[in-house]
Each structure stands twice: as structure tokens, then as C-alpha cells.
Amino acid sequence: MSVAEHSEELLRQVAALPTLPGVYRYFDAQGQVLYVGKAISLKKRVSSYFQKNHGGTRIGHMVSKIVRLETTVVRSEAEALLLENNLIKTLNPKYNILFRDDKSYPYLKMTAASEAPPAVAGGSAKTGAAPQQFSRVAYYRGGVEKKHHYFGPYPSAWAVKEAILLMQKVFRLRTCEDSVFSNRTRPCLLYQIKRCSGPCVGHISAADYAQDVLDAQKFLRGDAQEVMRSLEGRMMAHAERLEFEQAAELRNQVAALSNVLHQQSVDNVSDRDVDILAVKVQGGKACVNLAMVRGGRHLGDRPYFPVHVEDAAVLMDVDDEAPADANAALEGQVEVQVLQAFLAQHYIGVPMPSVLVLSHPVGKALIAGLSEQHGFKVTALHQPREQRRAWLDMAQTNAALQLARLLAEEGSQQARTRALAEALDLTNEDLDALRIECFDISHTAGEATQASCVVFQHHAMQNAQYRRYNIADITPGDDYAAMRQVLTRRYSKTAEALAQAKHAGVAPSGSDRLPDLVLVDGGKGQVSMAREVFESLGLDLSLIVGVEKGEGRKVGLEELVFADGRDKVYLGADSAALMLVAQIRDEAHRFAITGMRAQRARVRTSGGKLEEIPGVGPKRRAKLLQRFGGVRGVTMASAKEIASVDGISPELAEEIYRALH
């Protein structure tokens, strides 16, 4: 589309733009956002798109789709940068470099300890100690509370669990739930293997335990040597007072801590909190590897893979204004563009350290914007020395390895997609857009029945589009009825939208299109049920394929069953098409099972279930939990046993029993 082919209203809007910093957004005819960009001068930047003939390039393809423009004026380039990336994460524009919003990092949580036991029941049966007196170490995700202590974030759940194991080995801190703590009468296995000091049964005083907690917190903040000196001093003091048993305990603690420090090779604790980021671009794909150092300890790393790298890189080459400094002149490099996009998007609403070690230099405006957003000075280094150099080399190596793995996997997945399309004579010419939806049913003897729907598209499983369906009003264990219900719920609105579009003589919108293939986990019975649903909705029966287990239910012997009457097909154990079918089927099964188990656990063990029963308030609930050691214990109790609890009448006991069963 040339400039003359754009509407006069759009061109007038472009001509009237101010020469002020701001953010602009381009939209297509369907109202979908195409691109979000920032500018020091909105007029100069936006006009450049409409004053040149970009031909058949990617830029020209994007510009030809623009039918509407929105702009927001801001006070500075830093504000424009922050707004731009907030909008990118919110709107997911097609021509921007995008990183998946996966920032729910895990933390190590230490609960705050109260100085005195609470007045309500809940102490250990043997000692009267309350769990609130003894800080607990736990794995945690979610919003933080000021009263507790949080350490991290950690790059993975594995890293947090390693840290918890360290807290158990060296400082012997408890990890048990308060309900377990309150009902212990003898020490558990963790005490026996010297992973806990046994506060639940009075094997350590609250004051000594608090000192261990304090030492653990200092260690996690990077004060390992200070903790070592403190432990050695306390050990010598006990020895001088001839308290050899206490001195021996501290000696073992010192030995454990010394062993940990030796294993982790923490020889540089001047850098307490640092993020190391390395980027690698190859074959139209990119990887940003983020490594985290917290408290002077390297906690591991995590790879991130952006999308739209090629389109966004071409647009950003044209989009860059004249460089204001030496760093800005490097913005034409794809690696730098990817790294800058990651920094700007990743640290929105996420705590960040004051030091970043980077594989490539980035613009000063970006670092200034991050500093302004977080309220402290952020330092970015791209030519580090000594320990920082070693960390960066490690991150660069991991980025290259992760990208090579991704390219190999994508090549394999594309081959599998092509093989399946050829095996089933699918007519979709664009294999990248081929969409497969797979359904599975899961329950335990009819309890907590759930159906899952997983989606395969763009040669990968699309986790964000997965759906679970709670199945109700069927005979427990009736998988056929469950499949009928989930397919009806999933496709009835789509069928209605397709019928309306056909009646109006217009093409259906993208959100109303059917998948190219509907897989159901099952043989003739499930396929027959799916055929009945599709016939009632007026949908194409050729879309339905059942995955029937082979002889002896052996993997690799599966056969495909068709709803439109075609003969069954055996693809072969080594078939790439069958590998893809099995991958999708297994993912649907996994997703259904995890949902079913979570649903069942909520029914059986949720503390909130008691609160929902009329007549069971906080006091009665506390008595029930204390008497039976948790909701599971209440669930396993008979109505007569429940009635033996003080304040629970036989009638209320019957009501509680019915509600939990």
C-alpha cells in the first residue's frame, strides 16, 4: 500500500502529530494492534512510515495494514520507554519482540516468629510450644507479606528446594506445617537424620532456635563468613564452660557450613545481588539466558525465547532515530535489540538488583528508565572482569546451548507436523497455522471428573490456550457422557457463530474458526460420541480422530479411528506423525490428571471446606483440626467420632460428615 492508498483521515492525523516524546500504536482493519513504538518526536517518527515506499518488505507489509493510529504524549524518553513496554506486554502486538510473561519466580520464605504462644489452642501436645514461636522455612510463590522474610527470587523451583535442603543441613530449621507441628508427640524422621532440631517436642529452646534462624538469614544475605565466625565463637564459649554437648552441636554446624561453602566456591561476596544476561541470535531465533546471583551465591539460570524477532528487528532498524550517544549507535544489532526488549519487559513490576552484567551494551536511556522505575541507580556492565567475567562466560555458553536445543527441537517438531498433515491428508497449506485440539477425561472411580482440552499450533503446545472443564450431572465414571458434555460446551458457540457467518455471507472471524483436527483419547466408543455431538451441531465429521490403544495397550501400537467412516490407520511405531499424536495425547492426559488431582485434593483436604458448613465457625473448626490433626483426619472420622469433640452436637456432626463425603 502506498501513501496515497491510506485514508485521508489517517494522513491528516499523522500530519497533526506534535514534536513531543510519546508512544504510538498501529491497528489493522480488525482492530488488532500491529506495532507499538516510542519516539522522542512523535511527528518525525510516525511520519517516516508514511513518507517512504517500503515496497514488498516486512515493513511495507505491516504499513499496508495500518488503518488506525493512537498516540500518547509523555514527559520524557524514559516515560515513553516504560509506557511502550507496558503496552507491548498488555497488547501483544504482532511486529514487536515479545517475551512470554512468565515471571512468577519462586522464593524461599521464612515465617515471622511470635515472641509468645497465642492464647488459642494449637501447641505441641508434649511441650505446649506453639508453632508460631518457631520460624518455618518453605517454598513460596505469590505476593509477599511484610511480616515474613523472603529470599530470592530464585530462577527455578529446584534452586529453592536446594536452598531449603541447605537450611535443613546447616541450621536444622523446621519445614513442617503448623498443624503437623502442633500434633507431634515425638520427633519425626527429619530430626533423626539431623535435618531438624526438633522444636515441636522441646529439643531446642525458642531462643536457640531464633539464633539459628538469624544465622540462616545472614547466610542467605551473603554474610557467610560472619556466620562462620559467630558459630565458632559460640562453640568456644560453650567449650570454656565445659558444655561439651552444646559445643559439639555447634562444631557439627560449623563443619556443615564449611563444607557447603567449599562446594559452592563462594570466593567473591562483594557482589551480593547481580543479574547476568547473555543473548544469542541464530536462524531467526533468539535466546536470552538470565543467571541470578543472590547473597553472593550463584543460584542458577533460566532461558527465555522471544517471538517475532525477525519482523521486529527489521522494523526497529528503520525505527531508530539518530543516536544521541555512543551506545545508541549499537542499537542496530539484533542481539542488542533483543536484550533491550527483554530488560524493558522483564523488569516491569519485578524486583531487580542494582547491578546487571550484560553480554552486549545497551542504551543509556533504557538504564535510566529502569533506575527511575525502581527508585535506585541501576548499573549495567558489558565488559566485566574476574568473577563477573566467569559468570558472563557461563551465561553465554548456556544461551548458545539452549538456542541450539530449541532449533533442533523446532526442526523435529516441524517434521512431525508435516508428517501428520501428509498422513491424514490435511489440506491446510500453512503448516505453522495448523491447529489441533485434543480432549481427555480423568477421574478416580467417578470422583472429581474433569475434562482437559490442550492445543497444538505453531509446531508447539500452546499452554496459554489449555482449558479444563468440570464435569457435572452425569453418572460417576461415565466417560462417554463426560466426552459428550465437554465437546458440546467447547464447540456449541463456535457452531452457532459459523452458522450466523454463513447466513450473513461473511467469512468467520479467527476466534470462531474450528481446529484442523480434533483428537479424542479413545477408540470407537469415544469417536461415536464425538460424531453424535458434531452431527447435532452441524460440524464437519472429518475433523474427529480417535487415538485407540493397540494390542496390550503398548506404546507405539496405537491406531487412529475416524468419525467419517474411513478405515482405521496404523501409522507405525517409528512414524513421526504417530510421535506427534502421542505427544499431544500424553499432554492432554497429563493436564487432565493434574486438574483432577487438584480438584480431588480440594474436596478432601481444603480447610475452607469446613468453614463452608453452616454452624462451623472458627472456634469449632480449630477444635476439629486439633482433635483430628487436619481436615484429612476429620474426613476419615465417623459422625460419632466427630460428635465427641466439645461443642459439636450429633446433628452438626452428621452435617459435617455429609458435607465432607
Verify that 521 and 590 share a domain, yes or no.
yes
For residue 100, being part of any structural domain is answered with no
**pTM for the full model?**
0.64
Quote the pLDDT of residue 380.
Answer: 92
Quote the pLDDT of residue 506.
Answer: 72
Quote the pLDDT of residue 635.
Answer: 79
Interatomic CA distance for residues 237 and 243, integer angstroms? 9
Domain holding 41: CATH number?
A: 3.40.1440.10
Quote the pLDDT of residue 483.
Answer: 92
For residue 138, being part of any structural domain is answered with yes
Where does a domain end: 230, 264, 298? 264
Point out the residues of the chain with pLDDT beneath 50. Answer: 1, 118-122, 125, 262-263, 265-269, 320-332, 604-608
Interatomic CA distance for residues 162 and 12, integer angstroms? 61
Provide the CA 231 distance to its chain's centre, in angstroms.
39
Verify that 367 and 291 share a domain, yes or no.
yes
What is Dmax (Cα atoms) for the chain?
Answer: 95
Where does a domain end: 91, 119, 141? 91
Give the helix ranges, DSSP H, for 174-275.
178-182, 189-192, 206-220, 224-240, 244-264
User: Taking phi first (over 0 means left), then psi (-120 to 50 degrees means alpha), and beta for anything else, what does residue 355 get?
Assistant: beta
- Which helix (DSSP H) or strand (DSSP E) does residue 109 occupy? strand 107-110
**DSSP 8-state class, residue 3:** G
Interatomic CA distance for residues 315 and 26, integer angstroms? 13
For residue 409, being part of any structural domain is answered with no
Interatomic CA distance for residues 154 and 291, integer angstroms? 10
Quote the pLDDT of residue 136.
Answer: 92
SS3 56: coil
Verify that 580 and 622 share a domain, yes or no.
no
Interatomic CA distance for residues 565 and 567, integer angstroms? 6
Three-class HEC string of 566-611: CCCECCCCCCHHHHHHHHHHHHHHHHHHHHHHHHHHHHHHCHHHHH
Verify that 471 and 388 share a domain, yes or no.
no
For residue 438, being part of any structural domain is answered with yes
Burial class (CB in 10 A: 0-12, 13-18, 19+), 425: exposed
Domain holding 538: CATH number?
A: 3.30.420.340
Any idea what the Cα angle at residue 407 is, between residues 402 and 408, rounded to 5°? 95
For residue 374, being part of any structural domain is answered with yes
Verify that 586 and 437 share a domain, yes or no.
yes
529, 483 contact by CB (below 8 A): yes
Interatomic CA distance for residues 462 and 307, integer angstroms? 13
> Which structural domain range is residue 53 located in?
3-91
Interatomic CA distance for residues 150 and 217, integer angstroms? 10
> Could you read off the pLDDT of 227-282 as tens digits, one per residue?
777 777 778 887 777 877 777 777 777 776 666 554 454 444 466 789 999 999 88
Where does a domain end: 587, 602, 617? 602
Quote the pLDDT of residue 116.
Answer: 54
Verify that 279 and 154 share a domain, yes or no.
no
SS3 81: helix
For residue 81, being part of any structural domain is answered with yes
Q: Domains in the chain: how many in total?
A: 5
Domain holding 318: CATH number?
A: 3.30.420
Cell of 98: 515479545
For residue 552, being part of any structural domain is answered with yes
Burial class (CB in 10 A: 0-12, 13-18, 19+), 343: buried
- Residue whose cell numbers read 508460631: 132
Quote the pLDDT of residue 101.
Answer: 62
Verify that 648 and 499 share a domain, yes or no.
no
Verify that 597 and 611 share a domain, yes or no.
no
Verify that 454 and 507 share a domain, yes or no.
yes
For residue 282, being part of any structural domain is answered with yes
Verify that 40 and 172 share a domain, yes or no.
no
Interatomic CA distance for residues 367 and 525, integer angstroms? 61
Could you check whether the bond before residue 118 is cis, i.e. omega within 30 degrees of 0? no
Verify that 596 and 478 share a domain, yes or no.
yes
19, 44 contact by CB (below 8 A): yes
Verify that 134 and 187 share a domain, yes or no.
yes
